[in-house]
Amino acid sequence: MAMTPRSRIRRILIANRGEIASRVIRTAGSLGIQTVAVHSDPDAAAPYVGQADRSVRLAGTTSTETYLDVARILDAAAASGADAVHPGYGFLSENAGFARAVAAAGLTWIGPTPESIEAMALKVEAKRIAKAAGVPLVPGAELADGTADDDLLAIADSVGYPVLIKASAGGGGKGMRIVTSRDDLLSSLQSARREAASSFGDGTVFIERYLSGARHVEVQVFGDVHGNVVHLFERECSIQRRHQKVIEEAPSPGVTEATRSLLHESAVALARTIGYVGAGTVEFMVFGQGADQECFFLEMNTRLQVEHPVTEEITGLDLVAWQIAVAQGESLPLTQDEITATGHAIEARLYAEDPARDYLPASGTIHQFRPGSGSAVRIDSGVRDGSVISPYYDPMLAKVIGRGATRDIAAGVLAAGLSGMTLHGPVTNREALVAILGSAEFLSGETTTSFLDEHPELLAPIAKDDDLRHAVAVAQASAALDAPDPLVPIGWRNVPGVPEFVHMRRRGSDLVTTVLTDVLVHSVSVAHTEAVPYGDVFAFDTETIADVVVHLQYTTRDGGVDAAGVEVGVGGVAAHCRVTRYGDEVFVDDGLHSSAWIVLPRFADHTGDAAGHGPATSVPGTITAVLVRAGDEVTAGQALVVLEAMKMEHTIRADVDAEVARVLVEVGQSVDAHTVVAEFVEPGSMEVPA
């Protein structure tokens, strides 16, 4: 059914959360349009809820019982007097049934028609339409339900390895697996189908040739109800983890002018073929260089993309404003000839996750989150000071966008903005993002989808010079903050004595750093050990840094948060370090770099630990599969349990050869981090019933 445009929109309900909700609220407010936020219980205190003119609670915690519940969202629209719905991205944004339900309720749907959504929603059907529109396709094959295992293997053989398994109904990397050999095909298919069914309610998957070393390039398109279709140039999104984009930029640094023209023309042709209305993105894989470069259709996303700000930055346009205008029945604000691009823009997705630990998502409280002094970046954020990152949703904190006349300038602006940002809370991917932006390979434009696989060193960058400076600042600040009197620092003596010491560990490192300060001769010694030296603390090798100059500038205590200003000079170069402490966690910011530390006890704790042991969950989440039962013998590395957390699947594996005595979790159970999933005994030690 066709969508009937309404008169001017007065009040928009945003069927989403986080930074995209804030983004829509900002533009709607600039147009004099009121907004309504919906929120789950974990999101009750989220910034976007207070930014909207009205808010409606969706009781519950999971996406299924809140942001994916069509009836409850429509009830919220009716109760709040909304006359339009903006779906954002993710959740229900590409759900044709939801679009129809919105229209049936007499509301304006700010998005493409249900027919367009359906045409592109199933990737297999989308490929047929793209082929008819003359868009080039990558080799692939459909996988019908009930296909025998031997036939599945034969199909994959015909496509050619490596193959990429993809969910037909979804995106965002869910239900996607790279398979390099036929030995792994069937198990990967099962895992992909399970993840796709959990994420999208549809376990259908298909396979296509995996093009290693290809670029992921997408074209922003826009259409209106009057038949006008334009493109707003392309974006490159090749730097990805787990098939989810991490850094995006516009324009693409690696396509030829001939390929660029083909991409734009193909995207517009596809949008015209389906009578597309609103914002959409046509995605391609670009393979090769120079005259041999080729491009293949990947999929079309019938919604606004996460990375739309880079297009806004190079065109000077507000894409949300365009969405609203088109939904009201207006013509596109500009013709193709009137749309121009200037400069370069790069976006980095800031996640609460640990890239060095296989992108393990993190949860907890954001103590402080704010741009650095003089920062030139744009920040589209879904958090603020005090925000709690829950395990129920995607762990993205913000999108940080840098713009410049050239790509190098944009990368420098973005790296500086990330480095100078105050960000105290769970572990994030900030250091990895800065390392990527500053790498020679990135700056040369060598950004293919295998970039992070080829450069794993960027995921755990080491800044030794700043570690030394920051460790000294932590030691000095800790001594001052723990002193009973600010004028008499802890450990002060009026006769010569032993140096003062502080044990600490940089977050993410297993090494213990001990800083010894001799207050009488003003010398500093630093040692790195695998364990805290609780015996004779001075009986181990240290490195004495004679030219370290430390000036404590101030200490403050406010609301349980301790802070100190310390100037540390190393090798004649001084930097002001702000040290902030939350319990045992300490964060150091010097304007160019940041680090997080755990201050360890000064003396040994002999209380003992009676906690039980066994394979345990690494993060909070929901159990989606239990693969063993009591009495099974398992080997080290064998999968035991599958856990879904923050829209990703995590497999809990055995770390030793053992026999399962008891399984302690079940499918559907919500668990906290460090929940033991099974009890082990020595193989063959369990009694067998007669």
pLDDT score of 2: 44
pLDDT over 70 percentage in the chain: 92
- 51 with 15, same domain? yes
- The answer to whether 290 and 270 have CB atoms below 8 angstroms apart is no
Between CA 237 and CA 288 the distance in angstroms is 16
Residue 670 lies in a domain: yes
Average pLDDT of the chain is: 89
Task: Please report which confidence band the pLDDT of residue 610 belongs to, taking 50, 70 and 90 as the band edges.
Answer: very low
Which of 333, 365, 384 is the C-terminal boundary of a domain? 333
pLDDT in tens, 23-35: 999 999 999 999 9
Residue 505 lies in a domain: yes
Query: Residue 667's domain is classified under what CATH number?
Result: 2.40.50.100
pLDDT in tens, 551-584: 888 888 876 689 999 999 888 889 999 999 998 8
Q: What residues contact residue 140 under an 8 Å CB cut-off, 6+ apart?
A: 127, 159, 206, 207, 208, 209
Which of 446, 461, 476 is the C-terminal boundary of a domain? 461
- 252 with 351, same domain? no
The closest alpha carbon to 177, from 218, 150, 136, 205, belongs to: 205
- The answer to whether 106 and 100 have CB atoms below 8 angstroms apart is no
pLDDT score of 5: 46
- For 70-228, where are the E strands, in sequence order? 84-86, 108-109, 140-142, 163-167, 177-179, 205-209, 215-223
Question: If you search the block for the tokens 């808010």, which residue do you land on?
Answer: 55
pLDDT of residue 3 exceeding 50: no
- Mean pLDDT over 334-361 rounds to 95
HEC profile of 477-506: HHHHHHCCECCECCCCCCCCCCCEEEEEEE
Question: If you search the block for the tokens 């806004």, which residue do you land on?
Answer: 312
Q: Across the strands, what pairs with 451?
A: none
Task: Please report which confidence band the pLDDT of residue 619 belongs to, taking 50, 70 and 90 as the band edges.
Answer: confident
Give the residue, 6 or 45, on which the prediction is more confident: 45
- Mean pLDDT over 406-435 rounds to 96
- Burial of 279 (C-beta count, 10 Å sphere; 0-12/13-18/19+): buried
- 90 with 183, same domain? no
Give the residue, 619 or 617, on which the prediction is more confident: 617
Between CA 518 and CA 491 the distance in angstroms is 10
Angle at 276 between CA 274 and CA 282, to 5 degrees: 90
Whole-prediction pTM value? 0.82
- Mean pLDDT over 250-258 rounds to 97
57-61, 166-170, 273-277: range with lowest mean pLDDT: 166-170
- Mean pLDDT over 381-404 rounds to 94
pLDDT score of 647: 63
- Mean pLDDT over 164-168 rounds to 88
pLDDT of residue 679 exceeding 80: yes
pLDDT score of 340: 98
pLDDT over 90 percentage in the chain: 61
Residue 536 lies in a domain: yes
Max CA pair span of the chain: 89
pLDDT in tens, 47-94: 999 999 999 999 999 999 999 999 999 999 999 999 999 999 999 999
- 198 with 221, same domain? no
pLDDT score of 355: 92
- 592 with 668, same domain? no
Residue 262 lies in a domain: yes
Give the residue, 339 or 363, on which the prediction is more confident: 339
Task: Please report which confidence band the pLDDT of residue 490 belongs to, taking 50, 70 and 90 as the band edges.
Answer: low
Question: Which amino acid is located at 261 in the chain?
Answer: S
pLDDT of residue 589 exceeding 70: yes
Query: Residue 73's domain is classified under what CATH number?
Result: 3.40.50.20
pLDDT of residue 614 exceeding 90: no
pLDDT score of 89: 96
* Residue numbers of the domain that contains 544: 465-599
pLDDT of residue 223 exceeding 70: yes
Residue 120 lies in a domain: no
pLDDT score of 613: 57
- 434 with 358, same domain? yes
Residue 127 lies in a domain: no
The closest alpha carbon to 219, from 294, 138, 137, 310, belongs to: 310
Eight-class DSSP state of 288: S
- 203 with 239, same domain? no
Residue 611 lies in a domain: no
Query: Residue 149's domain is classified under what CATH number?
Result: 3.30.1490.20
Residue 126 lies in a domain: no
Task: Please report which confidence band the pLDDT of residue 544 belongs to, taking 50, 70 and 90 as the band edges.
Answer: confident
- 79 with 201, same domain? no
Q: Is 17 helix (H, G, I), strand (E, B) or coil?
A: coil
Question: If you search the block for the tokens 């050619």, which residue do you land on?
Answer: 160
pLDDT score of 257: 97
pLDDT of residue 631 exceeding 70: yes
- 469 with 510, same domain? yes
Which of 398, 431, 461 is the C-terminal boundary of a domain? 461
- 532 with 591, same domain? yes
Q: What residues contact residue 103 under an 8 Å CB cut-off, 6+ apart?
A: 1, 3, 4, 109, 114
166-175, 370-379, 492-501: range with lowest mean pLDDT: 492-501
pLDDT of residue 637 exceeding 70: yes
pLDDT score of 405: 98
Query: Residue 231's domain is classified under what CATH number?
Result: 3.30.470.20
Question: Which amino acid is located at 368 in the chain?
Answer: Q
Task: Please report which confidence band the pLDDT of residue 285 belongs to, taking 50, 70 and 90 as the band edges.
Answer: very high
- 266 with 353, same domain? no
Between CA 111 and CA 94 the distance in angstroms is 9
- Mean pLDDT over 647-664 rounds to 85
- Mean pLDDT over 316-321 rounds to 98
Say how many domains are in the chain: 6
Chain center to CA of 275: 33
pLDDT of residue 491 exceeding 70: no
- 68 with 95, same domain? yes
pLDDT of residue 512 exceeding 60: yes
Between CA 503 and CA 528 the distance in angstroms is 10
Q: What residues contact residue 159 under an 8 Å CB cut-off, 6+ apart?
A: 139, 140, 141, 207, 208, 209
pLDDT of residue 19 exceeding 90: yes
Task: Please report which confidence band the pLDDT of residue 265 belongs to, taking 50, 70 and 90 as the band edges.
Answer: very high
Q: Across the strands, what pairs with 515?
A: 502, 526
pLDDT of residue 519 exceeding 70: no
Eight-class DSSP state of 133: T
Q: What residues contact residue 330 under an 8 Å CB cut-off, 6+ apart?
A: 224
